[in-house]
Homo-oligomer: A and B are copies of this chain.
């Protein structure tokens, strides 16, 4: 299956496309960022990022779009742009009939490193290794988008009809998802 990961942001929106095989092998298809000029009006900036996400969907025809679940707790200004881009990404996908999934940063970290509290650079190193890249994808937003795509490709429901988590990383994924549902831990994207 092909997944487009979106790490939402108004100034830099990370985008990453990954193909996954039933064997859990993942392959990098493309990564990059959508940007908008900081001196433009907010409505035009949002439209520019939404158009770019739409163009990526058209170009790479993913089976699913995975977006980071954004929580509004700190820094209202930054979060509002982030949250609005997340909403726009969902609509760009919905209008093209592409399935949408949201994953928390905890779920993403747990999926790729086995540790829901892993630091950002560890996530980038694992993304590099899992995709067989020679160096970490830059900028960091693109690496985060690839991690989101991998997280979605590896979500437990694709593993077995019984939902059994086969590896340590998948067990951590399930744990993180449970914790997020209980609201025990929330993360802020800023």
Contacts and interface: CB of A to CB of B under 8 A. Distances in A.
Given A71-B76, A79-B72, A91 B41 contact: no
Interface stretch (A13-21, A44-52, A122-130): A44-52
Contacts of A88: 84, 87-88, 91
A72 B186 CA distance: 15
Contact of A85 (B73, B85, B87): B87
A83 interface: yes
B87 A76 contact: no
A102 B42 CA distance: 10
Contacts of A93: 43
A76 B73 contact: yes
Chain A interface, >50% SS class? helix
A94 interface: yes
Interface in A58-72: 70-72
B80 A50 contact: no
B43 A100 contact: yes
Interface string A76-120: 100110011111101101110000101000000000000000000
A93 B47 CA distance: 9
Nearest to A72: B72
A170 to B, nearest CB: 24
A180 B85 CA distance: 24
Most buried by B among A73, A84, A186: A84
Contacts of A87: 46, 80, 83-85, 87-88
Nearest to A71: B76
Contacts of A90: 42-43, 46-47, 84
A43 to B, nearest CB: 4
A43 B57 CA distance: 15
Contacts of A50: 91
